[in-house]
Amino acid sequence: MIQIDDAGSGSLIGGTCIGAMRTETKEYVYDFIPVECYYQGAFENKAYITKCEDIVNSLLSQLAPCKNENIMICQGYMFESVRRSLGRKGYAVQSTRIQNPLQSAIENTFQDYALKLGLPVQYVKYTRYPFHFHRILRWVYADYEKRHLLCKTGWRSWKKYGQLDIQITEDIIFNKNYICLKCGKKIKPGSDVRVLKYTSNCPNTIYLHKKC
């Protein structure tokens, strides 16, 4: 049996991981829908769905399933055209909720990918909702010029919250628990800092090293 699933489609940053696994052998292959498919214009034209079908076809060519081998595909809307296409080709396709062994493998793949994009490890591994939109938005605003290019800017939520007015001031911070969201290093108590303030779904304050 082959499982097919995605990870990261609900994350503001990055593209989407598409993975496939033959459950009996744990043979695992994957690729990424690039974030550019989610930019404004491309997203509205559903470029990510077209790319998803291309990737699934490529992954299956690597696994080389027999026509009578069961292919279990995530029931999400992203795979609608894939399911129809494989069905027309005579494959035994079933739409279902994908669980292990593929679920854990593909989630770990996307976590590693997010870390390589620069997302702090505490955003990825030590929270119940690692890719919460407004939490990641704080990280994006800490280095907006570079990080907005990593975002799914075609999303309606980005259009609402992705170009907010930012108030920038300076201060001295004495709390020892703050980390600079631009460089990722600890802010020492008594340091001069830059303070970014904005309001999304709630007021937000970001502290950065003054030189960052």
* Distance of alpha carbon 212 from alpha carbon 87, whole angstroms: 53
* Distance of alpha carbon 21 from alpha carbon 103, whole angstroms: 10
- Domain assignment present for 157: no
| pLDDT per position as a tens digit, 168-197 | 999 999 988 899 999 999 999 999 999 999
Asked if 195 and 204 touch (Cβ cutoff 8 Å), the reply is no
- The count of structural domains within the chain is 2
Provide the residue range defining the domain that includes 191.
164-212
- 47 and 103 share a domain? yes
Q: To the nearest 10°, the Cα dihedral for 101, 113, 203, 43?
A: -90
Within 10 A of 86 (CB to CB), how many other CB atoms are there? 21
* Distance of alpha carbon 50 from alpha carbon 36, whole angstroms: 13
- Domain assignment present for 123: no
Helix (DSSP H) and strand (DSSP E) numbers for the chain: 7, 8
- 6 and 111 share a domain? yes
- 113 and 54 share a domain? yes
* Distance of alpha carbon 23 from alpha carbon 212, whole angstroms: 47
- Domain assignment present for 39: yes
**In three state form, how does the secondary structure of 45-66 look?**
CCHHHHHHHHHHHHHHHHHCCC
- Domain assignment present for 113: yes
Mean pLDDT within 6-35: 96
Residue 212 pLDDT > 80: yes
- 64 and 168 share a domain? no
**Does the model's pTM come out above 0.85?**
yes
